Amino acid sequence: MNYGINGSISVDAARPISVESTTPIALVGDSDVGDTGVQFFGNAELALAEYKTAASGTLRLALEGISAQGVSCPIILGTARNGATAKADIIDIIDGLSTAEGVTGYRPDLIVAPTYSFDVDVGVRMDAVASKLWATAVVDNLGANETAMLEYADNFASRFVLMYGPHAKFYDTLSQSVQNVAPSAAIAAMIARTDGEVPFGFADSISNRVFKGYSGTDRIIDYADGQDCEARRLRNAGIGSIVADEGWRTYGFETTDIDPIWQSLERVRTFYKALTAIKKASKWARDRRANELISVRKSIDAFMRELKGNNVALGFEIFFDPIKNTNATVTAGKFYLTVKWQNMPLVRELNIEMVYVDSYGDVLLNIINGGN
């Protein structure tokens, strides 16, 4: 018996669930300056202060491309030296990104290896790490023509890969010349910027946006809105393009996944970011009494209502599945909570029909007969 006056404090309230507000970019490449291995910088400008004198390699121009998109996001920088072992060193750094959070404090959300990612061996390792981290590998597809680009894309079938090409033209003030650079770093920066522009910006895409800081591409990809063209064929294969369309614009935001549901990168990122946030916010209930699951459900319900209110979700349903949850699973302390929902789709195709009719002939007759 507990003698005296006893008191306790408990909670019957939903816990806040929030999605990470920053989008860390893991940028891997080579340079003739800077320390090799993995370093952390608060943004691209801070990294450029150290790499601004680099006369060779992929990192300096990649950092300038990120800066040109007007985003300030964490940069996890992996540096290798150009040479006989560069490819192996790049792959080793990419493989190590799965544990980069323990070193930098940030978990990579976007992974790029400009130019190097056009090597299949590098690209597939980026995909492997991105799949493990629920991140997005932005891979360069720098094929010299449509056939070459399609052939390269055939090596991938992943919801965690966004592919873009061709080379983009960027004026390099150090060499005082226009350079053809891989677009992946700037594409990643556009994603990071879009993520932070509005609440839940990860539900939007970077397609049909101006590719800032670049003056063209090394080859023109045929684009004609609403017609069969190279850009549309590439997009159907999961390859995004930089096209001339009232400025240089991005076209495409699809993955290479075989499942049509997960070929929409904004859907992939929305679902995985929501799941990550829910998992993180629900950790407090682990190894607690099972009645605390009521609060877990309330928290998720409040989060999903917020997604719906911000036009990220169309609708949702939350329930403990009576088929999966049995007396045996309850006894074992094992529970299954299902969240069914549909995200807000993007306008990928708008069909406008122009129909000729002759039912307004009386208007003309009235005019030529002197009517008003």
What is the pLDDT, as a whole number, of residue 18?
82
Mean pLDDT, residues 211-239 taken together: 95
125 phi/psi in degrees, rounded to 5: -75, -35
For residues 305 and 302, give the distance between their C-alpha atoms in angstroms, rounded to a whole number: 5
CB 76 within 8 A of CB 104: yes
At residue 201, the pLDDT reads: 94
- pLDDT tops 80 at residue 11: no
Confidence at residue 1, expressed as pLDDT on a 0 to 100 scale: 65
Write out the DSSP string of 292-330. Answer: GHHHHHHHHHHHHHHHHHTTSEEEEEEEE-TTT--HHHH
Give the CATH number of the domain where residue 30 resides: 3.40.50
Q: What is the pLDDT of residue 315?
A: 97
From CA 76, how far away is CA 70, in angstroms rounded? 18
* Inside any domain, residue 309: no
pLDDT band at residue 349, thresholds of 50, 70 and 90? confident
Say if residue 372's pLDDT is above 70: no
HEC-encoded secondary structure of 193-234: HHHHHCCCHHHCCCCCCECCCCCCECCCCCCCCCCCCHHHHH
Give the model's pLDDT for residue 37.
94
- Res. 85: pLDDT tops 70: yes
Dump pLDDT digits (tens) for 293-311: 999 999 999 999 999 999 9
Length of the chain equals 372
286 part of a folded domain: no
Q: Are strands 177-181 and 168-172 parallel, antiparallel or unpaired?
A: antiparallel
Q: What is the pLDDT of residue 225?
A: 86
- The tokens for 280 are 């993180």
Omega before 199 cis (within 30°)?
no
pLDDT band, residue 226 (cuts 50/70/90): confident
Distance CA 48, CA 28 (A): 14
CA torsion 185→190→192→195, rounded to 10°? -160
pLDDT band at 10 (very low <50, low <70, confident <90, very high): low
Rounded to whole angstroms, how far apart are CA atoms 275 and 153?
A: 28
pLDDT tens for residues 48-63?
A: 999 999 999 999 999 9
Given a cut of 70, whether residue 332 has pLDDT beyond it is: yes
Q: Is residue 228 part of a domain?
A: yes
Mean pLDDT of 30-41: 95
* DSSP strand pairing (161-165 vs 136-140): parallel
Q: How many domains does the chain have?
A: 1
Asked if pLDDT for residue 7 goes beyond 80, the answer is no
Taking Cα atoms as reference points, which of 145, 162, 138 lies closest to residue 62? 138
Domain holding 62, by residue range, is 25-267
369 within some domain? no
Indicate whether 323 belongs to any domain. Answer: no
Whether residue 105 lies inside any domain: the answer is yes
Is 313 a domain residue? no
Write the pLDDT tens digit of every residue in 93-120. 999 999 999 989 999 999 999 999 999 9
Q: Is residue 345 part of a domain?
A: no
Average pLDDT over residues 145-166: 97
The dihedral built from the CA positions of residue 272, 277, 280 and 281, taken in this order, carries a sign that is negative
Q: In what order do the strands lie in the sheet containing 110-112?
A: 37-41, 75-80, 25-30, 110-112, 136-140, 161-165, 239-244, 248-251
Q: Which tens digit of pLDDT belongs to each residue from 254-284? A: 999 999 999 999 999 999 999 999 999 999 8
Check whether 341 has a pLDDT greater than 70: yes
222-248 burial, b at 16+ Cβ within 10 Å, e below that, comes to bbeeeeebbbbbbbebbbbbbbeeeeb
Q: Is the confidence at residue 4, as pLDDT, over 90?
A: no
For range 327-356, the mean pLDDT: 94
Q: How confident is the model over 14-36, as a mean pLDDT?
A: 91
pLDDT tens digits for range 231-245: 999 999 999 999 999
